Amino acid sequence: MFGMDNSELALIGQLAVSGACLGAMGIFGGLLRHARRRCRHLSEQLGQACALNESLRRQALYDGLTGLPNRLLLEERISSALTRAEREQGAFALLFLDLDGFKTVNDRYGHAAGDLLLMQIASRLSGSLRHADTIARIGGDEFVVLTEIVSAGDIGIIRDKLHQALSQPFQIGADALCISASLGHARYPDDGSSIDALLARADQGMYHLKRQRQSAAIYATQ
């Protein structure tokens, strides 16, 4: 063909095949690079979606001011504690804590000072409990502790720890503020077998103690 011998034709054929292979490799390489870029992009999108999901989860389950669990997460954990206690014949307690005179702090020093005080109180209360315990802020100056117990006497120990955590003054700007709290408690299974019943019992105990203190204060000033 065109004066070429077989060896030359074979060489041309090999070059053509090589060229086709190189072209195919170039196309494949381009596709591979595109696929890698696409994977990186999808990975970044997945990471952003996970971060957004975690942010939304925290907003839904944690108090925005103190970072403590909110009422929704508290109720989830109480539900888990109920299931576990029923299965294992165990016991747990809820302690309802309400700060005494917190409104006066807001009125006298402003809401920013009140928020700072709540943050410090949350930190102290958290530090006084075991890692397995839950302390939640369920609104305003109200906190609830969920803790597993062995006997009813354990509740007194926990109450003492919570009072001790609040015993030292809180530094708010140039002022050192002293604050106390009224506590009520409920024990499963003695005081109820549902989330609502246990929370209501602990809440009632707290308000009963608060009314007693208020009556004593009024009597003392007469």
List pLDDT tens digits, range 181-199: 999 999 999 999 999 999 9
Residue 87's nearest CA partner among 189, 186, 197 is 189
| pLDDT of 3 higher than 60 | no
Residue 161's nearest CA partner among 133, 128, 187 is 128
Dihedral, CA of residue 43, residue 49, residue 53 and residue 54, to nearest 10: 50
Over residues 71-95, mean pLDDT: 96
d(C-alpha 183, C-alpha 143), whole Å: 10
| pLDDT of 36 higher than 60 | yes
Which single residue is written with the structure tokens 């109200």?
142
Amino acid in position 132: A
Question: Which of the following is catalytic: 63, 98, 133, 141?
Answer: 141
d(C-alpha 97, C-alpha 99), whole Å: 7
> Is residue 222 very low, low, confident or very high in pLDDT (cuts 50, 70, 90)?
very low
Percent of the chain at pLDDT above 70? 79
User: Residue 32: its pLDDT value, please?
Assistant: 73
pLDDT, tens only, 120-159: 999 999 999 999 999 999 999 999 999 999 888 899 999 9
Which of residues 48 and 22 earns the better pLDDT score?
48
Which of residues 67 and 35 earns the better pLDDT score?
67
Structure tokens at 35: 């696929």
d(C-alpha 134, C-alpha 68), whole Å: 9
127, 165 in Cβ contact below 8 A?
Answer: yes
Catalytic site includes residue 100: no
Over residues 48-67, mean pLDDT: 75
Distances, alpha carbon 73 to alpha carbons 55, 58, 134, 136, in Å: 15, 10, 10, 8
Amino acid in position 91: A
User: Residue 207: its pLDDT value, please?
Assistant: 92
Bridge partners, 182 (sequence order): 98
As a whole number, the mean pLDDT across the chain is: 85
Percent of the chain at pLDDT above 90? 63
CATH class belonging to 71-221: alpha beta
d(C-alpha 9, C-alpha 47), whole Å: 56
d(C-alpha 116, C-alpha 129), whole Å: 21
| pLDDT of 9 higher than 70 | no
d(C-alpha 111, C-alpha 119), whole Å: 12
The least confident of 48-57, 165-174, 177-186 is 48-57
User: Residue 220: its pLDDT value, please?
Assistant: 40
User: Residue 218: its pLDDT value, please?
Assistant: 38
Task: For CA atoms 163, 168, 172, 178, give the dihedral sign.
Answer: positive
| pLDDT of 221 higher than 50 | no
